Chain A
Amino acid sequence: MPRQPRMMGPGGVEKAKDFKKSFKHLFSYIKPYLLSIILALTMTTIATVLVLVATRMLGNITSEIQLALKNNRDIDLKKISSIGIIIGCFYVINFVFHYIQNFIMTGVSQKVAYKMRQEISIKINKLPLKYYDGDSIGNILSRITNDADTISSNLSNVINQIFHSLAMLLGTIVMMFTINVPMTFIVFASIPLSALIMVSIVKGSQKYFRLQQNALGAVNGQIEEMFTNHTVVKAYSLEKKSLKQFDGLNQTLYVSAWKSQFFSGIIHPMMNFVGNLCYVFVAIIGGIFAIKGSLLIGDIQSFITYTKQFNQPISQLSSISSSLQNMVAANERIMEFLQEEEEPVDTDTVELPNKIKGDVEFTNVCFGYDPDKEIIHNFSASIKAGQKVAIVGPTGSGKTTLVSLLMRFYQINSGDITIDGTSIYKMKKSDVHSLFGMVLQDTWLFNGTVRENLTYGADISNEKLEEICKKAKVDHFIKSFPGGYDMVITEENAISQGQKQLLTIARAMIQNNPMLILDEATSNVDTRTEEIIQQAMDKLTEGRTSFVIAHRLSTIKNADLILVLKDGNIIEQGNHEELLKANGFYATLYNSQFTK
């Protein structure tokens, strides 16, 4: 997917599939804070009322001046001072309340986001591995960061603004009516006008925003493709062709960009114009009333302020509704993830015996990632303690699947797998895991010190650690790292692929589990490092029942049992000689690889 910057604005509104359900779910997170939210909202309401009253009182000062001038008397400055002090207090209280409300709501929204992230993090470990075959890492990642962010940044705004706007709207209407009824109706007349402008512009701009999004996607897509394929562009002199294509896309983007920019840019001035119209009409009508003597200048002044405040909530309406929709849509994605079916909890489990020998028995195992599409049919094999099993076959033939079944990462359709005679499905899942040491092709290390990575969950002294590391041939290069065992491994560290592989082998050695799963593929490593890795692996398999995804001839030849996989099926099994004699797939594979 081409990268697309997140665009907010009239075009960037997402819709939830089931608004009500998602909203309910979101509400359950807010509920614990209901009391503080009510407190915050009460404060908003009081603060809003105070400001409205203050505006009216401010008008009264002006009116006092007007009356004094009209009647040719001195202005009652004492009276003005006392009103002024009250107004000032109102403004300060408004500030304090407003801030307290922000303070509370910030806390609430961040805590809600925190809780959601926490639940997602725990959920990740509870879902069956099968789930991750369908959903990409990027999607889950974006739930934890973007979606939770969308909720935290919109939640307080939406709640605050809805109440603030409502209080403001009602308050100004009441205040306007108390000043002058005909003028209030003039202001009301502007509502349909504003709505009309708003709707028509937003509609128009949405079209261009969509066009812009598409054009941006196309341009960014081309940039991504050309830059990643740079070598080929150069080797085949495709620069001109690619530039020509780019110019076309760039031009389309330019047109849609300025148009969407233009349309979204005129909403504000148009609304402003409507506001100005109101303002002028209020001034005119107010002026006429004032001449007749039924209205004071201070009233006009307050009324003008109310007119402006009246327009505010209306123009905020569309932004509140898009915030609300974005938030609910984001919440829906989180909700869907959190409501995915979890792996069943182990019940009626058997205690592990103290000493595990390592006899493994597959009996009539059938399995498919998709229950309708069985890929392992009726597989049986018996492995004695201490034996080495080599799993061979072309890429994509399902070698990792077999290993995953052994680890109980997936549930088999029928049949059974036993260790020392006990079904692994009767053991606790964590017990099954603790029986195996595992070295995978993807050399997963986490951000943390080398020591933390090696001991990962195991309790082991530093001396013992170094001793094992020496055996695994990692002690030497670990000590050459800045900080040695305490160097923090990050993505930027210059730890080579080979070193990482060695570290994961050392990690498996430290765990010292009775059985072993090993992936020999070391494709990104040069041959000399490979040699060292293989020595380390050989040391690791000594005396353990081990399952090796084999790439090396010597491993295969020395294996007690070779399982040959093709397209997910175990098509042959036996040792090297037996399989060669059978002259089947294994024999062809072997011959094509090592003969001319």
Chain B
Amino acid sequence: MLKLLKYFKPIEWLMIVLTVGLVVLQVELTLTIPEYLEDIIALIGQSATSGEIWKVGGIMIGLAACEVVVIIAINYLTSHVGAGLARTIRRKVFGQVEDFSMQEISKFSTSSLITRCTNDISQIQMIITMCLRMLITAPIMGIGAIFKIFNKSKELSLATMVAIFVLIILIITVNIIVVPKFKLLQKSTDDLNMITRENLSGLKVIRAFNTEDIQEEKFDKINKRNANLNIFVNRVMSLLFPGMNMIMNLLTLCIVWIGSILVNKGTLEIGILLSFSQYAMHVLFSFLMLSMMFIMIPRAMVSAGRINEVIATPIIIKSSTTTSTKTNNGTIKFDNVSFAYPKSQENVLDKIDFEAKPGEIVAFIGSTGSGKSTLINLIPRFFDATEGNVLVDGVNVKDYKLSSLRNKIGYVPQKTLLFSGTIRDNLLDSNPNATEEEMWKALEIAQAKEFVQNLEGGLDFVLSQGATNVSGGQKQRLSIARAIIRHPEILIFDDSFSALDYKTDQLLRTTLAKELNHITTLIVGQRIGTIMNADKIIVLDEGKIVGMGTHKELMKNCPIYQEIAYSQLSKEELENA
């Protein structure tokens, strides 16, 4: 939590200092008002004129007006500070994540990063604004009020102390009983969510197996437990409010009661009897506020910790200096490359050695977990090799300026990711200088021209978030067009043809081979049909290259390749191919 405080800007620190000053003023005002009540009471005792009372009353109204102005000013400052801190932290976390490579992302998972950047920060904003007000006000008010009462009467102060003590015991006891249950409660809510989700996602299976009763029974069990737990926790919690109320009421009674004895002895003014209970309430409230803070701060700490974790994650992949203009002959060379995830003993890739010459098509195949995707992710430096070197155009990728390296590459990811906005915007993201003509050309190569023409607005058709308003195959073709339009030296397809039907897949590959034969192309594929015609096929198994060559060669000498091939196509089909 404290670590996040360093994100306050100087002006915000100034505001905080100003807030503290204003709070002191506010407390002074709040605590002075009851003293004038004493004066009025005293005036009554002296049978003064109503004019004198009006005078005192006028001062009180003036003070109350000042007080409200000061409080509004405090509120103004704290609102700024809270929202400002949230803005700074949000920017910091977002910027940090934008700098992350896949390596750091994989440490967190995307959905967790999203929650950290949204909910957790909202949480912090709320608590900072509240804390600023309460955390500053409570101690000052408490101390101020205690000063006032100690001056007035030792005995009554003692009674107040006892009340505070009882109040704290009440809060602590309730918390001791309830806090451990909160975790259970959270779990029970999660369970409820889980079983409902399960019932809904398994709808068909449940009906097909006639197991509605079993599921309902399971739900009932969790639901009952949830209700009982809630009843218990809420019943204990609901002790708090009436309990606090009783303590305050009894304290007021004690003050009057004990006060009457003191007045009788002549050691206390009757006016103080009235003002004292107000001061005592201020003291009690300060303690209440503080104890509430102690309940809320730990919750904020969880959020703060999660945010800090993101900010504190070092960025491993840093840009270097070599810039290089695009040429028309991209070469790629893997020189004894190994890769392992941090803290993992096992290599995902082991001593990979190969070369792709300008204009060559190199394909990768292997079962899931064989390291195909990881391998091609090393080229745009989404990850860095742990051993060996990856060279693009003869230069180690680690020596490039990142944007310069990535500018050479047209990358088509496995999961098609398009931005909300027009198709034109998405293409311009890749190449800001693309002309209308170039766009249509790229779409044509990607087999997307026809359907884009049929969309309302053509290039200006607006894609929704996640591009849910076009089909999976269409998305993939758009994503391919985006890669083509930047005129890359190197094209990388990370299993990018899977959403296409066989016909389009084939058509696309033929056009690519014809139109872009100067571009070095890397393809990761699952279907033999997709990769069969590559210049070089590399077969991966458990991170190692177990075969390299053309389809014909591999069919002869690579057993794993044969196994994959036969599982997809029959013998005669393969031979006919």
- Co-assembled chains A and B: yes
User: When chains A and B are docked, how far (Å) is the Cα of A394 from the Cα of B505?
Assistant: 13
Contact mask for chain A residues 516-539; partner B; CB cutoff 8 A; 1 contact, 0 none: 000000011111111100000000
By a CB distance below 8 angstroms, the chain B residues around A69 are 45, 263, 270
In the bound complex, do residue A409 and residue B204 qualify as a contact, i.e. CB atoms below 8 Å apart? yes
Contact mask for chain A residues 485-514; partner B; CB cutoff 8 A; 1 contact, 0 none: 000000000000000000000000001000
Contact mask for chain B residues 60-71; partner A; CB cutoff 8 A; 1 contact, 0 none: 110011011001
Those of A64-122 within 8 Å (CB) of chain B: 64-66, 68-70, 74-75, 77, 80-81, 84, 87-88, 91-92, 94-95, 98-99, 102-103, 106-107, 110-111, 113-114, 117-118, 121-122
By a CB distance below 8 angstroms, the chain B residues around A92 are 246
A61 at the interface (CB under 8 A from B): yes
By a CB distance below 8 angstroms, the chain B residues around A233 are 98
In the bound complex, do residue A91 and residue B253 qualify as a contact, i.e. CB atoms below 8 Å apart? yes
A433 at the interface (CB under 8 A from B): yes
Contacts known (A107-B231, A246-B94); A114 close to B238, Cβ less than 8 A: no
By a CB distance below 8 angstroms, the chain A residues around B252 are 58
B75 at the interface (CB under 8 A from A): yes
Contacts known (A141-B193, A246-B94, A270-B68); A74 close to B231, Cβ less than 8 A: no
In the bound complex, do residue B274 and residue A261 qualify as a contact, i.e. CB atoms below 8 Å apart? no
In the bound complex, do residue A265 and residue B79 qualify as a contact, i.e. CB atoms below 8 Å apart? yes
A578 at the interface (CB under 8 A from B): no
A223 at the interface (CB under 8 A from B): yes
Contacts known (A456-B209, A526-B369); A261 close to B82, Cβ less than 8 A: yes
User: When chains A and B are docked, how far (Å) is the Cα of A107 from the Cα of B245?
Assistant: 22
Those of A250-281 within 8 Å (CB) of chain B: 250-251, 253-254, 257-259, 261-262, 265-266, 269-270, 272-273, 276-277, 280-281
Among residues of A, the one whose C-beta sits closest to the C-beta of B223 is A117
A338 at the interface (CB under 8 A from B): no
Among residues of A, the one whose C-beta sits closest to the C-beta of B266 is A69
In the bound complex, do residue B53 and residue A117 qualify as a contact, i.e. CB atoms below 8 Å apart? no
From A184-192, A213-221, A379-387, A461-469, give the one contacting chain B: A213-221
Those of B73-126 within 8 Å (CB) of chain A: 75-76, 78-80, 82-84, 86-87, 90-91, 94-95, 97-102, 105, 110, 113-115, 117-119, 122-123, 125
B118's partner among A61, A220, A251, A526 (CB-CB below 8 A) is A220
In the bound complex, do residue A444 and residue B201 qualify as a contact, i.e. CB atoms below 8 Å apart? yes
By a CB distance below 8 angstroms, the chain B residues around A51 are 249
A247 at the interface (CB under 8 A from B): yes
User: When chains A and B are docked, how far (Å) is the Cα of A258 from the Cα of B226?
Assistant: 37
Among residues of A, the one whose C-beta sits closest to the C-beta of B200 is A137
By a CB distance below 8 angstroms, the chain A residues around B241 are 98, 102
Contact mask for chain B residues 463-499; partner A; CB cutoff 8 A; 1 contact, 0 none: 0011000011000000000100010000000000010
A231 at the interface (CB under 8 A from B): yes
A227's partner among B117, B204, B223 (CB-CB below 8 A) is B117
User: When chains A and B are docked, how far (Å) is the Cα of A396 from the Cα of B471?
Assistant: 10
In the bound complex, do residue B246 and residue A231 qualify as a contact, i.e. CB atoms below 8 Å apart? no
Contact mask for chain A residues 446-479; partner B; CB cutoff 8 A; 1 contact, 0 none: 1100000000110000000000000000000000
From B292-300, B448-456, B515-523, B566-574, give the one contacting chain A: B566-574
Contact mask for chain B residues 205-244; partner A; CB cutoff 8 A; 1 contact, 0 none: 1111111101110011001101100110011001101110
How many whole Å from B202's CB to the nearest CB in chain A? Answer: 4
- The interface centre, meaning the residue of A227, A409, A440, A442 with most chain B CB atoms within 10 A of its CB, is A227
A547 at the interface (CB under 8 A from B): no
A35 at the interface (CB under 8 A from B): no
How many whole Å from A584's CB to the nearest CB in chain B? Answer: 15
A234 at the interface (CB under 8 A from B): yes
User: When chains A and B are docked, how far (Å) is the Cα of A103 from the Cα of B110?
Assistant: 43
A232 at the interface (CB under 8 A from B): yes
B327 at the interface (CB under 8 A from A): no
Among residues of A, the one whose C-beta sits closest to the C-beta of B407 is A237
B374 at the interface (CB under 8 A from A): no
Contacts known (A75-B260, A84-B257, A125-B206); A65 close to B270, Cβ less than 8 A: yes
Among residues of B, the one whose C-beta sits closest to the C-beta of A226 is B98
In the bound complex, do residue A242 and residue B114 qualify as a contact, i.e. CB atoms below 8 Å apart? no
By a CB distance below 8 angstroms, the chain B residues around A98 are 241-242, 245
In the bound complex, do residue B196 and residue A527 qualify as a contact, i.e. CB atoms below 8 Å apart? no
In the bound complex, do residue A99 and residue B94 qualify as a contact, i.e. CB atoms below 8 Å apart? no
In the bound complex, do residue B503 and residue A3 qualify as a contact, i.e. CB atoms below 8 Å apart? no
Those of A562-596 within 8 Å (CB) of chain B: 588-589, 592-596
Contacts known (A121-B219, A140-B200); A80 close to B260, Cβ less than 8 A: yes
Contacts known (A280-B64, A595-B577); A287 close to B118, Cβ less than 8 A: no
By a CB distance below 8 angstroms, the chain A residues around B259 are 65
In the bound complex, do residue A261 and residue B129 qualify as a contact, i.e. CB atoms below 8 Å apart? yes
A243 at the interface (CB under 8 A from B): yes
Contacts known (A141-B193, A220-B118); A283 close to B37, Cβ less than 8 A: yes
In the bound complex, do residue B47 and residue A250 qualify as a contact, i.e. CB atoms below 8 Å apart? no
A283's partner among B57, B206, B368 (CB-CB below 8 A) is B57
Among residues of A, the one whose C-beta sits closest to the C-beta of B259 is A65
In the bound complex, do residue A227 and residue B82 qualify as a contact, i.e. CB atoms below 8 Å apart? no
In the bound complex, do residue A3 and residue B119 qualify as a contact, i.e. CB atoms below 8 Å apart? yes
In the bound complex, do residue A438 and residue B417 qualify as a contact, i.e. CB atoms below 8 Å apart? no
A412 at the interface (CB under 8 A from B): no
User: When chains A and B are docked, how far (Å) is the Cα of A95 from the Cα of B224?
Assistant: 30
Contacts known (A226-B98, A273-B65); A124 close to B209, Cβ less than 8 A: no
In the bound complex, do residue A122 and residue B118 qualify as a contact, i.e. CB atoms below 8 Å apart? no
Chain A interface residue number, banded? 35 or more
A129's partner among B67, B87, B203 (CB-CB below 8 A) is B203
In the bound complex, do residue B257 and residue A61 qualify as a contact, i.e. CB atoms below 8 Å apart? yes
Interface size on B, residues (CB 8 A): 154
A434 at the interface (CB under 8 A from B): yes
A45 at the interface (CB under 8 A from B): no
User: When chains A and B are docked, how far (Å) is the Cα of A15 from the Cα of B218?
Assistant: 34
Contacts known (A140-B196, A457-B214); A284 close to B246, Cβ less than 8 A: no
B429's partner among A236, A262, A440 (CB-CB below 8 A) is A236
In the bound complex, do residue A284 and residue B57 qualify as a contact, i.e. CB atoms below 8 Å apart? yes
How many whole Å from B47's CB to the nearest CB in chain A? Answer: 6
Among residues of B, the one whose C-beta sits closest to the C-beta of A529 is B367
A28 at the interface (CB under 8 A from B): no
User: When chains A and B are docked, how far (Å) is the Cα of A229 from the Cα of B466?
Assistant: 9
Among residues of B, the one whose C-beta sits closest to the C-beta of A120 is B196
How many whole Å from A345's CB to the nearest CB in chain B? Answer: 13
By a CB distance below 8 angstroms, the chain B residues around A297 are 41, 44, 270, 274
Among residues of B, the one whose C-beta sits closest to the C-beta of A54 is B249
User: When chains A and B are docked, how far (Å) is the Cα of A121 from the Cα of B195?
Assistant: 10
In the bound complex, do residue A62 and residue B256 qualify as a contact, i.e. CB atoms below 8 Å apart? yes
By a CB distance below 8 angstroms, the chain A residues around B309 are none
In the bound complex, do residue B204 and residue A440 qualify as a contact, i.e. CB atoms below 8 Å apart? yes
By a CB distance below 8 angstroms, the chain A residues around B227 are 110-111, 113-114
By a CB distance below 8 angstroms, the chain A residues around B182 are none
A287's partner among B53, B214, B471, B533 (CB-CB below 8 A) is B53
Contacts known (A233-B98, A250-B90, A592-B503); A121 close to B216, Cβ less than 8 A: yes
Contact mask for chain B residues 150-164; partner A; CB cutoff 8 A; 1 contact, 0 none: 000000000000000
B142 at the interface (CB under 8 A from A): no
User: When chains A and B are docked, how far (Å) is the Cα of A416 from the Cα of B94?
Assistant: 58
In the bound complex, do residue A94 and residue B90 qualify as a contact, i.e. CB atoms below 8 Å apart? no
User: When chains A and B are docked, how far (Å) is the Cα of A241 from the Cα of B100?
Assistant: 16
Contact mask for chain B residues 398-424; partner A; CB cutoff 8 A; 1 contact, 0 none: 000011001101010100011110000
In the bound complex, do residue A125 and residue B47 qualify as a contact, i.e. CB atoms below 8 Å apart? no
In the bound complex, do residue B263 and residue A75 qualify as a contact, i.e. CB atoms below 8 Å apart? yes
A350 at the interface (CB under 8 A from B): no
* Contacts A152-B230, A237-B403, A407-B207 known; 14 new A-B pairs at CB < 8 A: A75-B261, A75-B264, A99-B239, A113-B227, A121-B215, A235-B409, A246-B94, A287-B41, A287-B50, A433-B210, A446-B198, A553-B573, A594-B529, A596-B577
15 A-B pairs with C-beta separation under 8 A? A80-B257, A91-B246, A95-B245, A114-B223, A121-B196, A216-B122, A228-B417, A231-B102, A243-B94, A257-B79, A261-B82, A276-B64, A395-B472, A526-B370, A553-B570
Closest 3 CB pairs of A and B: A526-B367, A284-B57, A102-B238
